[in-house]
A and B are shown apart, each in its own frame.
Chain A
């Protein structure tokens, strides 16, 4: 509880995130009937992440990495990271779509995975047909993972004001087993990363898989040319150098991607 300037007493949110949960659990203990708990657990059991062959929408019988073992696994999270990967990496060579992932949990608006609309979050897997070492036939032990994502510049903690920072800028975080140098400075304390990129990096750190996260701090979270181009230094790293062929062509492709995605905003539409 906290007293405000105006003399009211309000419930202050607990930074440790315990308050709601504790009350809920206490209330649950008093009011949740075994039937309610059973319903909640049944719903949780319905949660699924399915890997499908894109064209036929049939499930992949074996795990993706078993069917397509690879030595380089690149993950792009968010629209700018995906645009960078599509324009600069996937436009060099022939990439074949090998599958996609669909997921369902209680917070999805549809009934199950088969009816997810195209506007929902999407995850696709592609492999490079010409080079078997990228999503190719090397054993998993030598696998290296690269993750690309963006964050808003106000998330970055620094002594100076974030408004004066030259955004967009790139920072990196790598696991202990990733021995190559990063193409940009490492993320300084006390900055942290959470959500999906953190989950992937945590897994790699714990299980000793070499992985690197390239994080672009930007002040434009929607699809933006300058933000996407901020990822360009990555093209000179050892893992991606061999994958990129034609940069000027990629820049053209990127520009086209921007224009098709631009929504004309007009207060009358």
Chain B
């Protein structure tokens, strides 16, 4: 359930919700960290749930001594009212059998909050690509029918590649074709539920492998930025590198502590 930080729930009518799916390489979550950190979004509440493994830590977006001691939990909501953006960040994995109940609770909150649409940032196993996909861009999008009606033209102008259907059961040759997002966590469930509940949802994903997924996250936010123009688009300023996105302080030591010098 959503619990506001302040006394009353903020008005999110007409806002766009950005959220990650906990998926391969944690790319969606890393991308969300970049968005929240770069736009300096403020925390407006918690999505308190027993579906995620509990975790706490100090402010992952701390920039100075003064703001480094605010406690953060596993699911928090941030907003940028000037851009009508609200962001949900998920920081831990689902407890067994709890992913579907989480989807239900999330979508029900989405409907009651008045958000106009939701964009899910996700990823899928790169080793599951077919030959055509191997030769094309690694980014894909998916729109629910109600979202299609409102943004069809914009998406067409971007020349994006829609996620292709593949065999429902890969081993069986005459199996039907459907949308499959292997490694995408709850992405498919959210997409299917949103289709049936007439929720305006877009899924933006990248084919990735586990490893250092920071470049994948930077790629995914640039992909999102082509559409939403959260920050100045790359094409306007070809000399700018992807350091336009602010890396949060919590990304330090991503691969562990320092090594003992005696090792060498």
- A18 and B257 in contact (CB under 8 A), knowing A187-B57, A192-B55, A206-B73? no
> Is B23 in contact with A16, judged by CB distance below 8 angstroms?
yes
In the assembled complex, the CB of A162 is this many whole angstroms from the nearest CB of chain B, namely 5
The CA of A197 and the CA of B53, in the complex, are separated in Å by 12
* Given A158-B257, A159-B258, A202-B74, CB of A15 within 8 Å of CB of B210: yes
A115 within 8 A of B: no
A160 to B71, Cβ gap below 8 A?
no
Contact residues of A between 221 and 242, Cβ < 8 Å to B: none
Establish whether residues A163 and B54, one from each chain, have CB atoms under 8 Å apart when the complex forms.
no
From 54 to 80 in chain B, residues with beta carbon under 8 angstroms from any chain A beta carbon are 54-60, 62, 68-71, 73-74
A198 within 8 A of B: yes
Contact of A19 among B55, B97, B183, B250 (CB under 8 A): B183
Nearest to A154 among chain B residues (CB) is: B257
Q: Least Cβ distance of B72 to chain A in Å?
A: 8
A205-B71, A206-B73 in contact; A173/B257 too (CB < 8 A)? no
- Contact indicator A189/B68 (Cβ below 8 Å): yes
Task: Given A160-B258, A205-B46, verify A14-B54 contact (CB < 8 Å).
Answer: no
CB pair B94–A21 under 8 Å, yes or no, is yes
A159 in contact with B253 given A12-B210, A206-B48 (CB within 8 Å): yes
Closest to A175 in B: B71
Q: How far is the CA of A165 from the CA of B139 in the complex (A)?
A: 44
B143 nearest CB across to chain A (Å): 22
Alpha-carbon distance between A19 and B253 when the two chains are bound, in angstroms: 25
- Is there contact, CB below 8 Å, between A22 and B185? yes
In the bound complex, what is the Cα–Cα distance between A194 and B24 (angstroms)? Answer: 21
A14 and B92 contacting across the interface, CB-CB below 8 Å: no
B96 at the interface (CB under 8 A from A): yes
Quick check: is A4 within 8 A (CB to CB) of the other chain?
no
User: Are B53 and A161 in contact (CB-based, < 8 A)?
Assistant: no
In the complex, B238 has a CB within 8 A of chain A: no
Chain B residue numbers with a CB within 8 Å of A25 are: 99
Q: Is B251 interfacial (CB-CB < 8 Å)?
A: yes
Decide: A16 and B257 in contact? CB cutoff 8 A: no
Tell me how far the C-beta of B57 lies from the nearest C-beta in chain A, rounded to whole angstroms. 4
Q: Residues of B at under 8 Å CB distance from A?
A: 3, 22-26, 46, 48, 53-60, 62, 68-71, 73-74, 92-94, 96-97, 99, 125, 127, 182-185, 209-210, 249-254, 256-261
Does chain B have a CB within 8 A of A186?
yes
User: 7 closest pairs, A vs B, by CB?
Assistant: A17-B93, A192-B57, A161-B260, A199-B54, A198-B54, A18-B185, A202-B73
Report A1-16 residues with CB < 8 Å from chain B CB.
Answer: 1-2, 12, 14-16
CB distance from A101 to the nearest CB of B (A): 17
A207–B4 CA distance with the chains assembled, in angstroms: 10
| A18-B183, A161-B257 given; A198·B55 CB < 8 A | yes
How far is it, in angstroms, between the C-alpha of A189 and the C-alpha of B209 when the chains are bound? 26
Question: How many of A's residues come within 8 Å of B, CB to CB?
Answer: 47
Chain A residues near B258: list those with CB within 8 A. 158-161
Given A194-B54, A201-B56, A162:B257 Cβ within 8 A: yes
B71 & A17 in contact (Cβ 8 Å cutoff)? no
Residues of B with C-beta under 8 A to A14: 24, 183, 210
Q: Does B185 contact A194, Cβ atoms closer than 8 Å?
A: no
In the complex, what residues of B have CB within 8 A of residue A194's CB?
Answer: 53-56, 92
The complex places the Cα of A222 from the Cα of B25 at a distance, in Å, of 35
Query: Which residues of chain A are within 8 angstroms of B59 by Cβ–Cβ distance?
Result: 189
| Pairwise interchain contact B70-A173, C-beta atoms closer than 8 A | no
**Contact indicator B56/A202 (Cβ below 8 Å):** yes
What are 5 A-B pairs at a CB distance below 8 A? A16-B93, A21-B99, A22-B182, A22-B185, A206-B46
The CA-CA distance from A21 to B98 in the complex, in Å, is 10
Tell yes or no: A190 within 8 A of B by CB: yes
Q: Which residues from A are CB-within-8-Å of B256?
A: 157
From B46, B70, B250, give the contact of A190 (CB < 8 A): B250
- A36 at interface by CB-CB < 8 Å: no
A220 within 8 Å of B (CB atoms): no
Q: Which of B58, B97, B210 contacts A186 (CB 8 A)?
A: B58
Alpha-carbon gap, A189 to B251, bound state (A): 9
